[in-house]
Structure 1
Amino acid sequence: MSSHAGHGHHDAPAPATPVHAHAHAHAHGPGGDPATDIDWDVLGPLLEQEAELNAAQYEEAARWIAALPTAPKVRRVLDVGSGPGVVSCLLAEVFPEAEVVAVDATPALLERAKNRARRLGVIDRFQTLEAELPEGFSRLGEADLIWAGNSLHHLGDQRAALAGFAGLLRPGGTVALVEGGLPTRRLPRDIGIGQPGLEARMGAAAATRFEHMRSELPGAKRETEDWGALFTAVGLVPQGTRSFLLDLPAPLSRPARDHVVASITREREVLGELLTAEDSAVLDRLLDPEDREGLHHRPDVHLLTARTVHLGRRDTT
């Protein structure tokens, strides 16, 4: 399991934006080898940039957790599917007495996480752990807070994985699942070229790809996405659900616009044959830096999404 969300990886499922939360699962075609198909020198900075754009959402979520009346004293945090460590470092800042462990299956992203922790001055309380779940559960150690940012759905048996998280919690500890939310929107419904509803169709294609990814996971089991019920099923007490909004209206700043261009470029590659010829042609125009109707020049490009966090707590008894 390696979500590489950078948290987002990971947006989601938010199928309309597969790159930010599902890079590991969606960056290669059916039968492709993720270890060889992904260029982390390209994707790593993209994941890091997206997580930085979403930093305010994640900080608000972390401070919500810290302020709960039932919040435990957080001494050790596991960021599962940490990607390049943007959220890991944020958690280290929000919980200044805690050791934070960034857990991921990709060494290149863990190196980015470690370098980030060093730059931000939290390296003395920061560790990285290369682990593939569920096999690596026994190596994670106990924790007061487990942050799983769009990573649970990368495990075939989500109920068993959540039970594994629950088993790592100290009394009073919390699991924070970032799952669900809303598809990202970056363009109006009608952009003046092609058929209206381009992003909605891209979302439908990404949802198809997501289901294919889920079906190919080892031990894949279908699970109703009632996270509160799943918490209860594994012995945790639901502690609430909140969604956090990212709303960057047009006109976008240059870094945000560059991210939109990079993310849609990646989606164009990932969705490939799932798109119609007409939509593919429209995307080619949108990605052409010389086209005045393209993303580089359009005044209506924006960035709007919501991420949902679900909390489950281990009883103190």
Structure 2
Amino acid sequence: MTRSHSTHDTQGHDHTHEHSHDHGHHGADFDWEALATHLEHEAEVNRPVYEQAAAWIAQTRGERVVRRVLDIGSGPGLITCMLAEAFPDAEVVAVDSTPALLDRARARAERSGLGERVRTLVAEVPGELGSLGEADLVWAANSLHHVGDQRAALTGFAGLLRPGGTVALFEGGLSPRHLPRDIGIGRPGLEARLEVAWSERFTQMREELPGSKPEVEDWRALLTAAGLTPDGSRSFLLDLPAPLPDAARELVVETFARQREVFADRLTAQDVATLDRLLDARDAAGLAQRPDVFMLRARTLHIAHRA
């Protein structure tokens, strides 16, 4: 399972990779290694959200020190290293099923001076959860939705926790927006239609995962069913107004290019033509040049602890 970092993440899911994180890669046509650079860009731009989330987790834990963190579906490790910075007394383990992404995570940790506290571990989730060892914090950001049996995975996460340990689950939120409703080309409401296409594809992706089981996405109830005590949910806003900095604009272009690739057969010819114009770097109406591109999204974090 790999971190879902997104191509279009709607509902708060990251889908660029359609995103994600599952390495479990099952069922999907995701080439996580090929998406590594995009995953890094996405994590870098969204880093403020994850930093705020880590600070909130630390606050809810009070005086309970975090000594070991499991980053489930870590991808290339930018968030793994952020967690190591946020919890300076902890060993942080990047867990992913794609070795090439873990190579990137290991290299990033070394460059950041965190090599002594960051480890990497190749493992499939949920099948190999038992090999991960105990933790004070199990962090799963945008990765659980790539596991067929999410209830079983959460039960597995709970079983890894030391007494007083915390599960931090990023799932849900609000769909991202990058453009005005009327962009002056094509039919207004393009991003809303892309969200519909994503929702349909996401449902198909979930249905095709090995052992897939439908679940009402009531994360508090699912965490409770896993034997945990919910500590609350909180949404974190990423609000980057126009004009965007270069890194964020580059991510938007990557995201729309991925959507053009993945959703073309679900869109009208007019919408595909609009996407082609948006992706033309020479077009004044394109994403690379237009002054009104922004980034607005909310990700929701659910936390629960073991008594």
Contact 2:21 2:143 in 1 (8 A): no
Which residue, out of 254, 257, 267, partners 1:275? 267
Which residue, out of 200, 205, 210, partners 1:218? 210
* Distance in 2, Cα, partners of 1:189 & 1:128: 43
Partner of 1:168: 160
Count of paired positions: 306
Contact 1:238 1:311 in 2 (8 A): yes
Which residue, out of 284, 288, 291, partners 2:280? 288
Contact 1:65 1:71 in 2 (8 A): no
* Distance in 1, Cα, partners of 2:57 & 2:284: 45
Which residue, out of 35, 40, 47, partners 2:33? 40
Q: How does 1:5-24 map to 2 (within 5 A)?
A: 5=4, 13-14=11-12, 18-19=15-16, 22-23=19-20
**What is the RMSD of the two structures over their aligned residues, measured on CA atoms?**
2.1
Q: How does 1:176-215 map to 2 (within 5 A)?
A: 176-215=168-207
Contact 2:169 2:303 in 1 (8 A): yes
- 2:276 partner letter: D
Q: Please state whether the residue corresponding to 2:299 is helix, strand or coil.
A: strand
Unaligned runs of 5+ in 1: none
Contact 2:237 2:297 in 1 (8 A): yes
Which residue, out of 140, 145, 148, partners 1:153? 145
Contact 1:165 1:175 in 2 (8 A): yes
Q: What displacement does 1:48 show?
A: 0.4
Query: CA 1:291–1:33 in 2, change beyond 3 Å: closer, same or farther?
Result: closer
Q: Please state whether the residue corresponding to 2:124 is helix, strand or coil.
A: coil
| Partner deviation per Cα, 1:271-293 (whole Å, 9 max, x = no partner) | 12112111111000100111111
TM-score by length of 1: 0.91
| Partner deviation per Cα, 1:46-82 (whole Å, 9 max, x = no partner) | 1101101111110010011111155632111000000
Contact 2:179 2:294 in 1 (8 A): yes
Unaligned runs of 5+ in 2: none
TM-score by length of 2: 0.94
Query: CA 1:129–1:288 in 2, change beyond 3 Å: closer, same or farther?
Result: same
Q: What displacement does 1:23 show?
A: 3.7
| Partner deviation per Cα, 1:205-247 (whole Å, 9 max, x = no partner) | 0110000000011111111111111111111000011111111
Contact 2:6 2:255 in 1 (8 A): no
In terms of fraction of residues, the more helix-rich structure is 1
Which residue, out of 85, 90, 100, partners 1:108? 100
Q: What displacement does 1:3 show?
A: 2.7
Query: CA 1:44–1:97 in 2, change beyond 3 Å: closer, same or farther?
Result: same
Q: Please state whether the residue corresponding to 2:242 is helix, strand or coil.
A: coil
Which residue, out of 94, 114, 125, partners 2:117? 125
- Whether 1:76 and 2:68 are equivalent positions in the alignment is yes
